[in-house]
Chain A
Amino acid sequence: MTEQQALYKYCLRLGDNALVQSYRLSEWCSNAPTLEEDLALTNFALDMTGRAQALLAYAGEVDGNGKTDDDLAYRRGEREFYNHLINEQPNGDFAHTIARLLYTSTYEYLFYTELMHSADERLASIAAKVVKESRYHMTHANDWAMRLGNGTEESQGRMQAAIDGLWMFTGEMFETDAADALLRDKNIAVDLGKIKIKWMERITEMVKLAGLKMPQGSYMQTGGLKGIHTEYLGHILTEMQYLQRAYPDATW
C-alpha cells in the first residue's frame, strides 16, 4: 500500500461515516418528537453532508482519477464503503438516535480535535471546522441523555436499552488497519489508542450522570474497515443512489 492509497482509504472512511450519518439523521425530518428537535437533527444532517462533501472531494483528489465527491457518494457499491457500522444502524426510537449520537459525537469530537494537528494540511483544516460542529452535536447528545436517563421510568428504560443495544458497535471505532499504520508513521492519522481512553472516560462519566449503567456486553462487531457491513447499508445505498443509478447520463 502506498501513502496515496492509504490516504485515499482514510478519507473515504471519514467521508463515508459522515455520509451515512447524514442519511440516518435526515430520516428524522418530520419524525421528531418536537419541531425544535426536528430542526436540530436535520441541522446535524446538514453538517454531516457538508463534511462528507469535503472529505470525499479530497479523497477524489488524492486518488487522482477525476472522481468527484458525488461520484464517490453515488456510484460506489456496498463493499466499497468503509464507514463504521454504528452509523448505518437504523434510527430506532429517539433514545437510540441519541445513544448513537452520544457515542459517535464524543468519538468525533476527540478524533477531529487530534486531526487538527495532522501533518496533512487539508485534513487539518477540515478538522478545524468539523470539531466545532462535533462539540455542538456532543452537547446536544449529552443534554438529551441527561433528560432521558433522569426523566421518567419509561425514558430511562428506553435510554438504557439504547446504549446497551448499540454498545457492540463501539469497539470498531477504535480499530486500525494498514492504512492507519502507514499514515500514523507520517503523523497524518490520529492515534486511536489515545482517543479510546478518553472516549471511555467521557462515556463512563456521562452514563453515570444520566443515571444509567455502563453496558456490559463484551462482543464487538467488526467489518466496516474491510467494507463488510450490516444488511442495512445496502438499503441506504439503494435509496440514496437511486436517481444517479437510474439516470446515469443525467446531471442534477
Chain B
Amino acid sequence: MELLEKNEKLQDNKLGSFEAKIERDDAIEPRDNMPEGYRKHLIRQMSQHAHSEVIGMQPEGNWITRAPSLRAKQILLAKIQDEGGHGLYLYSAAETLGITRDEMIAQLHSGKAKYSNIFNYPALTWADIGAIGWLVDGAAIVNQVSLQRTSYGPYSRAMVRICKEESFHQRQGYEIMAKMMNGTAAQREMAQDAMNRWWWPSLMMFGPHDSESPRSGDAFKWKIKRSTNDELRQKFIDKTVQQAEVIGLKVPDADLRWNEEKKCYDHGPINWEEFHSVINGNGPCNNQRMAHHKKVHAEGAWVREAAEAYRLKEEKLN
C-alpha cells in the first residue's frame, strides 16, 4: 500500500514537473515525462506534417521533367529536395516519441494518419508550380513560424530549420507568378487560373474556424499550438492579398474587403463542405496520391530487403 502511494506521488511529481515546464515555457525533451495524450497528439501532428512534405513531392514532381528552363528546373529540383529533407527531419523528430518511420508509413497507408489536404488537388499547368510555392508554402510558413515556439523541443528545432528553407520556396513561387504576369496573354491567363484554383484550398489549410476546431483545447494547454486557426489564416490573407495586387493577380473572392476598423481583410465564406469532402477521401487526387505512395513503397521492397541483407552479412564479417 505504501509502495503504491509512493508510486502515485512519484507520478504526480513527474506530471507536475511536465506542467511546470510548460508553465515556464521550457522545452519538453524526448526523455522527459509527458502525459500520454501529449505524446499521442504530437505523434499525430508530426507524422501528418512529415507525410505532407513527402506527399507534396508528387504534385511538384509532376512538373520537373517539363520545367520550361534549365534554371526553373534547378530551382524546382532543389525545392522538392528540401521538402523531402523536411520529411526526413520530421520523421526523425517524431521517432523520438517512440514510433518508427515504418509504423508511420503503415498508418499513412491504412488511412489512420493523414497528410495535408492541399495535396489532393492537381498541379495542372506550370503556373500551378508558382501557385504552390507562393500560396501553399506561404500558408505553410505562417503555420510553421508559429510552431517554432511549440513546446516539444525536437519539433520546435525542426521548425526553425524548415522555416528558413520555406521562405526561399515562397519567393521562388512568387517569382514564377510574377514572371508569368509579366509575360504573354496566355501566361497571364494561366497564372490567374492557377490563382483561382489554389486560393480557397490554401485558406482551408489552416483548418476549421476556431469555433469548430475539435482538438485545440489540449493543444493550447500544452503549448503545442500557439495561435488559432483563424488568427493564422488572417495573417496569411493580409500579406498575400497585397502580394497579389503588386503583380496584378485578382483574388477570387467577391467579398474580400479591407476592414479599416480591424486593420485586416474580411473574406467571403469558405466552402467547408468541400473541405470535409476532400478530407474524407473525395478529392480530385486522394486516390492517386495514396495509390502512388503504396505502389512505390511496394516496388522498393526488394531494394530495402537487399540493403538489409547486405548489412547483416557485413556485420557478421566484421
Chain A interface (Cβ < 8 Å from any Cβ of B): 22-23, 26-27, 29-39, 42-43, 45-46, 49-50, 52-53, 56, 69-70, 73-74, 93-94, 146-148, 150-152, 154-155, 158, 239-240, 242-244, 247, 249-252
Q: Which residue of B lies closest to A155 (CB)?
A: B306
| B179 interfacial by beta-carbon distance below 8 Å | yes
B309's partner among A52, A53, A152 (CB-CB below 8 A) is: A152
B70's partner among A37, A49, A247 (CB-CB below 8 A) is: A49
| B85 interfacial by beta-carbon distance below 8 Å | yes
Asked if A94 and B310 make an inter-chain contact with CB atoms under 8 angstroms apart, the answer reads no
B310's partner among A35, A69, A146, A243 (CB-CB below 8 A) is: A146
A252's partner among B126, B303, B310 (CB-CB below 8 A) is: B126
| Min CB–CB distance B151 → chain A (angstroms) | 27
| B267 interfacial by beta-carbon distance below 8 Å | no
Asked if B292 and A30 make an inter-chain contact with CB atoms under 8 angstroms apart, the answer reads yes
Q: A26-B77, A34-B304, A49-B74 are in contact. Are A249 and B184 (CB under 8 A)?
A: yes
| B57 interfacial by beta-carbon distance below 8 Å | yes
Asked if B306 and A154 make an inter-chain contact with CB atoms under 8 angstroms apart, the answer reads yes
| Of B26-34, B59-67, B140-148, B257-265, the one touching chain A | B59-67
Q: In the docked arrangement, what's the CA distance between A38 and B81, Å?
A: 8
| B80 interfacial by beta-carbon distance below 8 Å | yes
| B268 interfacial by beta-carbon distance below 8 Å | no
24 A–B pairs (Cβ distance < 8 Å), ordered by A: A22-B73, A26-B64, A26-B77, A29-B57, A29-B61, A30-B292, A34-B303, A35-B88, A45-B77, A49-B73, A150-B310, A151-B306, A152-B302, A152-B309, A154-B302, A155-B306, A239-B66, A243-B66, A243-B68, A243-B126, A244-B68, A247-B186, A250-B183, A251-B179
Chain A residues with CB under 8 Å of B72's CB are: 252
Q: A151-B305, A155-B306 are in contact. Are A32 and B179 (CB under 8 A)?
A: no
| B300 interfacial by beta-carbon distance below 8 Å | yes
Q: Which residue of B lies closest to A57 (CB)?
A: B70
| B187 interfacial by beta-carbon distance below 8 Å | yes
Chain B residues with CB under 8 Å of A250's CB are: 68, 183-184, 186-187
Chain A residues with CB under 8 Å of B77's CB are: 26, 29, 42, 45-46, 49
Chain A residues with CB under 8 Å of B65's CB are: 23, 26-27, 239-240
Chain B residues with CB under 8 Å of A147's CB are: 306-307, 310
Interface size for B (C-beta < 8 A) is: 44
Q: In the docked arrangement, what's the CA distance between A150 and B307, Å?
A: 9
| Min CB–CB distance A237 → chain B (angstroms) | 11
B57's partner among A38, A152, A155 (CB-CB below 8 A) is: A38
| Min CB–CB distance A136 → chain B (angstroms) | 15
Q: A50-B74, A247-B187, A252-B69 are in contact. Are A30 and B302 (CB under 8 A)?
A: no
Asked if A152 and B69 make an inter-chain contact with CB atoms under 8 angstroms apart, the answer reads no
| B256 interfacial by beta-carbon distance below 8 Å | no
Chain A residues with CB under 8 Å of B71's CB are: 53, 70
Q: A70-B69, A249-B184 are in contact. Are A32 and B88 (CB under 8 A)?
A: no
Chain B residues with CB under 8 Å of A29's CB are: 57, 61, 64, 77, 80
Asked if B303 and A148 make an inter-chain contact with CB atoms under 8 angstroms apart, the answer reads yes
| Min CB–CB distance B220 → chain A (angstroms) | 32
Q: In the docked arrangement, what's the CA distance between A244 and B57, Å?
A: 24
Chain B residues with CB under 8 Å of A158's CB are: 302
Q: Which of B91, B292, B296 has the most CB of A within 10 A?
A: B296
| B10 interfacial by beta-carbon distance below 8 Å | no
Asked if B80 and A42 make an inter-chain contact with CB atoms under 8 angstroms apart, the answer reads yes
Chain B residues with CB under 8 Å of A94's CB are: 300, 303
| B6 interfacial by beta-carbon distance below 8 Å | no
| Min CB–CB distance A45 → chain B (angstroms) | 6
Asked if A42 and B74 make an inter-chain contact with CB atoms under 8 angstroms apart, the answer reads no
Contacts A46-B78, A155-B302 aside, 5 further interface pairs with beta carbons under 8 A come to A26-B61, A33-B304, A151-B309, A155-B303, A252-B179
| Min CB–CB distance B115 → chain A (angstroms) | 13
Q: Which residue of B lies closest to A22 (CB)?
A: B73
Asked if A43 and B126 make an inter-chain contact with CB atoms under 8 angstroms apart, the answer reads no
Asked if B303 and A46 make an inter-chain contact with CB atoms under 8 angstroms apart, the answer reads no
| Min CB–CB distance B304 → chain A (angstroms) | 6
Q: In the docked arrangement, what's the CA distance between A45 and B58, Å?
A: 17
Q: Which residue of B lies closest to A240 (CB)?
A: B65
| B299 interfacial by beta-carbon distance below 8 Å | yes
Q: In the docked arrangement, what's the CA distance between A126 and B91, Å?
A: 38
Q: Which residues of chain B from 37 to 92 have any CB-CB distance to chain A below 8 Å in the complex?
A: 54, 57-58, 61, 64-66, 68-74, 77-78, 80-81, 84-85, 87-88, 91
Q: In the docked arrangement, what's the CA distance between A151 and B58, Å?
A: 30
Chain B residues with CB under 8 Å of A36's CB are: 88
Q: A147-B307, A152-B306 are in contact. Are A32 and B300 (CB under 8 A)?
A: yes
Contact with A along B115-158 (1 / 0, CB 8 A): 00000000000100000000000000000000000000000000
| B215 interfacial by beta-carbon distance below 8 Å | no
Asked if A148 and B306 make an inter-chain contact with CB atoms under 8 angstroms apart, the answer reads yes
Contact with A along B282-318 (1 / 0, CB 8 A): 0000000000100010011111111101100100000
